[in-house]
Amino acid sequence: MSSPSNVLLKKAKEWCCDPDSLAFAEKLDQHDKLANFRDKFIIPKKVDLPYIDQSLITNLEEESIYLCGHSLGLQPKKASSYVQQVLENWGKRGAHSHTHGFLPAAYCDLPPKEPMARLVGAKPEEIAVMNGLSVNLHILLTSFYKPTPDRHKIVIEEYAFPSDMYAVKSQISLHKYSVDESLITVHPREGENLLKQEDILSVIEDHGESIALILLPGIQYYTGQLIDTENLVRAGHQKGCLVAVDLAHAVGNVRLELHRWGVDFAMWCTYKVRLLVVLPLISMLLDYVHKKYSYIQILNTGIFFVLNDIGEQRNKYQLGVPGLHEEKPATSTTAVVSKEQMSCKNTKASGNIMKTELRPNDANQEFDPCDGADMFKLSNPPPLLSATLMASLEIFEQVGMEEIVAKQFLLTGYLEYLIDKRFIQECSETSPRMKIVTSRDARERGNQLSLTFDIPLDVIQKEFQRRGVVCDVRLPSVIRVAPVPLYNSFADVFRFVNILKDALEDPVVSKNISPNSGVENDGRDLE
Q: Please enumerate, by residue number, every residue annotated as part of a binding site.
A: 133-134, 161-164, 246, 249, 271, 380
Query: Cα–Cα distance between 171 and 186 in angstroms, integer?
Result: 19
Query: Cα–Cα distance between 33 and 206 in angstroms, integer?
Result: 47
Instruction: Give, as one character, the DSSP assignment of residue 400.
Output: -
Query: Cα–Cα distance between 267 and 69 in angstroms, integer?
Result: 19
| 8 Å CB contact between 128 and 376 | yes
Query: Cα–Cα distance between 419 and 432 in angstroms, integer?
Result: 13
Residues 6+ apart with CB under 8 A from 362: none
| Residue set of the binding site for pyridoxal 5'-phosphate | 133-134, 161-164, 246, 249, 271, 380
Burial classification of residue 364, based on how many CB atoms lie within 10 Å of its CB (0-12 exposed, 13-18 middle, 19 or more buried): exposed
Exposure string for 87-108, b = 16+ CB within 10 A, e = fewer: eebbeeeeeebbbbbbbbbbbb
DSSP H helical segments within 331-400, as ranges? 339-342, 383-399
Query: Cα–Cα distance between 522 and 476 in angstroms, integer?
Result: 7
| 8 Å CB contact between 242 and 213 | yes
Query: Cα–Cα distance between 380 and 244 in angstroms, integer?
Result: 23
| 8 Å CB contact between 478 and 452 | yes
- Beta-strand (E) ranges in 55-111? 65-66, 101-102
